[in-house]
Amino acid sequence: MDSVRTPAPPRLPWKHALLSMLGIWLCYFLLTTLRGTIFGSELQLELVWRRAIVCLVGVGFTGLLLLLIWSLRRSVATVQVVIGLLVALPASLGIAYANERMFAPVQGRAVEKIGEAQGVQLRLDEAGNLLLDLPSEEEGDVEVAGRTITIVEAPKGNARWQQLVAASLGPYFVLLAWLAIYFALLAGVRARTAERQAGEFREAARTAELRSLRYQVNPHFLFNTLNSLSALVMTGRGERAEKMIQTISNFYRHSLSEEPTGDVELADEIDLQRHYLEIESVRFPKRLRTEFDLPQELEEERVPGMILQPLVENAVKYGVAPSTSPVTIRISAYRDGDDLLLKVADTGASEAGLPGSNGFGIGLANVRDRLQARFGKDASLTAGPDGERGWTSIIRIPGGRNG
């Protein structure tokens, strides 16, 4: 059995990571250059390009640190932070060593200039010792040659490592600053990703709800029509049964051509109900009358597919079926300000259709739930008796939905 692989957590885009590395080392370069300018070193121009190379080396070590963190992106954030802090230590030592090697050629000249400013002769030997050359002296008639005094010996052994560690503190601080910036940017990326995924989950849940509510309509309608068709066949009304089968075919061809969670043009929705009422007219040829009022300017309005179906079914079931006299079912659409209103009204007896009667509330609840899932609280369904006889249901869709 194949295991489901958990997707890796999001990582900071490489462009943003590169910009953060360049930015932090550029700040370091500018600050150290400003400090050198303030102290007025005569070798400042030569120091600048050497400092720039050291900063590029720093960018390289930071990039290696980034690759390590990316390889650990499935780990918890604490592990990434701790490993980042630990790996930054040898990285800072590497940067400090590169800095030492880059500035070693100019260190001797810098020492000599400092000596000239002080009126003495200072220099570095090949081993790195700081030497002071004393001038020749005359003792009586004898000239004594000058001596050389070692002022500072070049560090060796543990002292060498101590010097390197001390020099690495600056680069280590820069790497810590970059890690802080990186994890702050990463937290923002993860927050936006989580927000987007939450939106996708909400949309998927809403779509599933709409799909479920839409599919509740079809089995209910199919059950009623099959019962009607069975009654026609058993009573020997074959022509009516054949006509009903053709009309059912047209109805399902029309209803199944649309995506279950999608919207349809209002003209198509009303045409679908026309097919349905044609089916029911086979059952009630003398009692069922229909009227449709759809202004031309509203034909292309978008509405949820089969949103009128439960209302029309209720009109037939509770208005036409129990009545002994002709009943008119009227489907109309009109504007109320910016809102689109869809009305299904019948002139049948309304007693069986009072709220709370068996089965009637399911259809209304289905419509209300679909409207709520599709449009939110601004959409509504109102239903109730219309005078002494009849029942009226009105759907309100906020602002209309033009295609």
Q: In the chain, how many H helices and how many E strands?
A: 8, 12
Which pLDDT belongs to residue 86?
A: 92
Pull the structure tokens for residue 162.
């101590």
96 contacts: CB under 8 Å, gap ≥ 6: 164, 165, 167, 168, 170, 171
Which pLDDT belongs to residue 40?
A: 60
Spatial separation of the C-alpha atoms in residues 122 and 108, rounded to whole Å: 9
- The superfamily (CATH) of domain 237-397 is Histidine kinase-like ATPase, C-terminal domain (3.30.565.10)
Task: Tell me the domain boundaries of the chain.
Answer: 14-131+154-197, 237-397
Instruction: Please choose, from the candidates 399, 374, 372, the residue with its C-alpha nearest in 3D space to the C-alpha of residue 262.
Output: 374
Distances (CA, A) of 41 to 45, 106, 117, 121: 9, 12, 12, 18
Mutual angle of helices 44-71 and 158-234, in 10-degree steps: 40
Which pLDDT belongs to residue 27?
A: 92
Q: What is the pLDDT along the chain (403 residues), one digit of tens a residue?
A: 444 455 667 778 888 889 999 999 999 999 888 887 776 656 677 788 888 999 999 999 999 999 998 888 888 888 888 998 999 999 999 999 898 888 777 765 665 566 565 656 666 666 566 666 566 555 555 444 556 666 666 666 666 677 788 888 889 999 999 999 998 988 888 888 888 877 776 666 666 555 554 555 556 567 767 777 787 787 777 777 787 787 777 766 765 555 555 688 899 889 888 888 887 887 788 899 999 999 999 999 998 888 888 889 889 888 888 888 899 999 999 999 889 999 999 998 654 444 444 444 667 887 888 788 788 888 999 988 877 678 999 999 997 545 4
3-class DSSP state for residue 345? strand
Which pLDDT belongs to residue 190?
A: 84
Phi, psi dihedral angles at 43 (to 5 degrees): -95, 20
The alpha carbon dihedral of 221, 225, 226, 227 has a sign of positive
Pull the structure tokens for residue 69.
């963190």
Pull the structure tokens for residue 303.
């509405």
pLDDT tens, residue by residue, 153-211: 666 666 667 778 888 888 999 999 999 999 898 888 888 888 887 777 666 666 655 55
Instruction: Please choose, from the candidates 112, 113, 120, the residue with its C-alpha nearest in 3D space to the C-alpha of residue 147.
Output: 120
Which pLDDT belongs to residue 354?
A: 46
Instruction: Please choose, from the candidates 331, 367, 365, 368, the residue with its C-alpha nearest in 3D space to the C-alpha of residue 346.
Output: 331
Which pLDDT belongs to residue 365?
A: 80
Sequence letter at residue 369: D
Spatial separation of the C-alpha atoms in residues 124 and 147, rounded to whole Å: 15
